[in-house]
Amino acid sequence: MEKRTGSKILVECLENEGVDYIFGIPGEQTTPVMEELRESSIDFITTRHEQGAAFMADVYSRVTGDTGVCLSTLGPGATNLLTGVGNASLDHSSVVALTSQRETSDKHKHSHQLVDTNSIFEAVTKLTDEVRNAESIPEQVRKSFEVAQREKRGATHLELPLDVTLETADVNPLESSKNRVSPSGVQKSNIDAALGMVKEADNPIVLAGQSVLSQNGGNRLEAFCESSGIPAVTTFMGKGSISARHDKSVGTIGFGADDYAMEAVKQADMVITIGYDYIEFHPENWNIGEEKSIIHIDSTPPEIDRHYGVKMTLIGNISRILEQMNKRTEQYASDSYSQELKSNFQEKMKEEYAENENPPFTPQQTVKAIRQILSDDDILISDVGSHKYWFSRRYPTYEPGTFIVSNGFASMGVAVPGCISASLCSDNNAVAVTGDGGFMMNMQEIETASRIGVDPTIVVLDDEEYTAISMEQNDDYGELYGSSFDNPEFKELAESFGVEGYRIDKEDQFIEKLSEAVKSDSVSVVSVPIDPEESYELEKEIR
C-alpha cells in the first residue's frame, strides 16, 4: 500500500463513512486536513462561529438520520463547539466533533492556545479520544462514528494533533457499520407477556418519545395504536411519531400540569412508554402518585427512578419490536375511550385567546399562521425561549422529523444554524422560529446561508426581553431585573446581509408576508412584534 499522510487517511475514512458535509471554521493546525478536503467528495461549510457549526451538525443528523460532523481548530475554536456538542449529546443526535491540537511534543508544557481539550469534551460526549498516530486513524474514526450512532445516539470527539496529521502510514479505512442490521433482542414470549399486561389495564395510553423517530418507528406506532385502540401522546421531541390528525393522537405533554394531554396521561392506569427518555419530560411530572403500571419499550434499559416503576421492559430496536407486537395485538381499549380523549383534546385545541389586529401580537397567532402556511412535510425548528412551549404544545405535526426542538440541553441559539442545515439537506421548506434573544446569539450565520445558497425562513419574535425569565421574575418578585434589552430593526439587519427582510405590521399580513418569505429563493427574516405582557398571561395557561 502507498503511504499517505494522516490528513489524507482521515478524509478517506470520513468519505468511507458517507460524510457529505463538514461544518466548521478552519485554523492554522487544520490546514493539512483542509487541503485534503479540497480534493475530496466532502463539502466543507465554513460557518461564522463554531457553535453554529456544531448546531448545524446536530440538526443535519436529526433531519437525515446520518451522523453530522463539525470541525474546529484548537483552544477557543474547540471550546466554542462545546455548547452545540453538548446539545447533540443530550438531545441524542449522532455527531462527531473533530478538533485540532498542537504537536504532541508541545503537550508537556504551557503552549499557545493549548488546553486539555479531551478533559473538556469528556463532560459532554459519549466518547472523546486523541489520535496518537496516523496508523490508528481508521480504527479511531470508525469507533467515533460507531459510538455516536449507537443508541442512545449522541456526540463523540476526536482530537487531531498537527504532527499526526502530517505523519504517514499505509492503512485503509475500516468497513462502515452504517447498514448493519440491529436485531430486536426481544423474545416472542416477552412480547406476549407485555401484551397480556396491556389487556388487563383499564385505561392504557402510549407515551412516545424521540427514539421512535430516530429508529423509524412512526408508521408502526400508528399501526399499533390503530389495532389496539390505545391513544397516544408524545413528548416535545417525539412530535410527529404519530400524526396529529390520527384518531388516536391526543396531544403533546411537556412542562406544566394543566394541559389536556397531561390530564389524559394522569387518568391512565397504564403508560406504555416507547422511545421515551426522562430528559424529555421527567416521570415525576406525570406519575405523581407512583401508581401507574409502566411498560418500557426502548433500545436501552430505563433509568432507576421511584416515579418510574417499570413492570415490563422490551429492549431492542423499537421499529422491530413494534413490528412484532403488531402481529399479536388485539383491541385493548374501547373506541369510546379513545374517542372521548380525542374529542376533548380537539375542543381544547379550538379554544381561542385574544388576538390583536395590530402589533404587538400574541405567540399563538404565529403558531396558527405558520401551520397554515407550511405543508405537512416542511420542517419547523423552534429555538429555546417562551415561544418554545407554544410551538411544542400547539403546533400540529403530521410527519416524522418535521418538528425539531432542543429539549435535553435546551440551548438558545440553535434555531438559525439548525434551520440552515435543514434547508441544506432537505428539499422541503425549513422555517426557524426564534425569540429575539436566541436570534442574536447566532444571527451571524445568515451570511453562511446566503453564501452557500440555501433559503431558510427565520421568524423572529420581537419583545425585547428574555420573556421566560421575565415571567418567573414577575411571578416571584413582582418586578424584572436583567432580563430586558434593546433590539436593532431586524428587517434592516436582514437587508444589510443582502437577504429579504419583513416586518409584520398588521394581523392580516401574517399569511401574506409569511407565505412570501417561505416561497422566496432567498434567506428571509420575518420580524413579528410580540406583547410580553400578553405572553405572560398566555404562558401561565399552558405551564
DSSP string, 307-321: T--EEEEEES-HHHH
pLDDT in tens, the chain (543 residues): 689 999 999 999 999 999 999 999 999 989 999 999 999 999 999 999 999 999 999 999 999 999 999 999 999 999 999 999 999 999 999 999 999 986 675 566 566 666 789 999 999 999 999 999 999 999 999 999 999 999 999 999 999 999 999 999 999 999 887 655 555 567 888 999 999 999 999 999 999 999 999 999 999 999 999 999 999 999 999 999 999 999 999 989 987 545 778 888 988 999 999 999 988 999 998 987 778 999 999 999 998 898 998 999 999 999 999 999 999 988 888 777 778 787 877 777 666 555 777 778 888 889 989 999 999 999 999 999 888 888 998 899 999 999 999 988 889 999 999 999 999 999 999 999 999 999 999 999 999 999 999 999 999 999 988 888 888 888 888 888 898 899 999 999 999 999 999 999 888 888 999 999 999 999 999 999 987 766 666 555 555
Query: At CB < 8 A and 24+ separation, what contacts does 284-293 make?
Result: 285/253, 285/255, 285/257, 286/207, 286/253, 286/262, 292/268, 293/197, 293/201, 293/269
pLDDT reported for residue 412: 95
Query: CA–CA distance from 139 to each of 14, 335, 508 (Å)?
Result: 12, 54, 58
* Contact criterion met (CB below 8 Å) for 188 and 324: yes
DSSP state of 337: H
Full strand arrangement of the beta sheet holding 430-435: 403-405, 379-382, 430-435, 457-462, 524-529, 500-503
Distance, in Å, from the CA atom of 219 to the CA atom of 500, rounded to the nearest integer, reads 38
- What's the pLDDT score for residue 112? 63
Q: What's the pLDDT at 468?
A: 83
What is the signed CA dihedral for 30, 32, 37, 40, rounded to 10 degrees?
Answer: -160
- Is 131:102 a contact under the CB 8 Å cutoff? no
Q: DSSP label at 521?
A: S
Q: Do the beta carbons of residue 144 and residue 158 sit within 8 Å? A: yes
Q: Helices then strands (H, E): number in the chain?
A: 22, 20
Q: What is the pLDDT of residue 257?
A: 45
pLDDT score at 489: 96
Domains of the chain: 4-169 (3.40.50.970), 188-348 (3.40.50.1220), 352-542 (3.40.50.970)
Asked whether the CA dihedral 201, 203, 209, 213 is positive or negative, the reply is positive
For residue 354, the model assigns a pLDDT of: 58
End-to-end CA distance of the chain: 63
Burial of 21 (0-12, 13-18, 19+ CB in 10 A): buried
Contact 455, 523 (CB under 8 A): yes
Question: Amino acid identity, residue 224?
Answer: F
The CA distance from 10 to 351, in Å, is 56
Burial class for 32, CB neighbours closer than 10 Å (0-12, 13-18, 19+):
buried
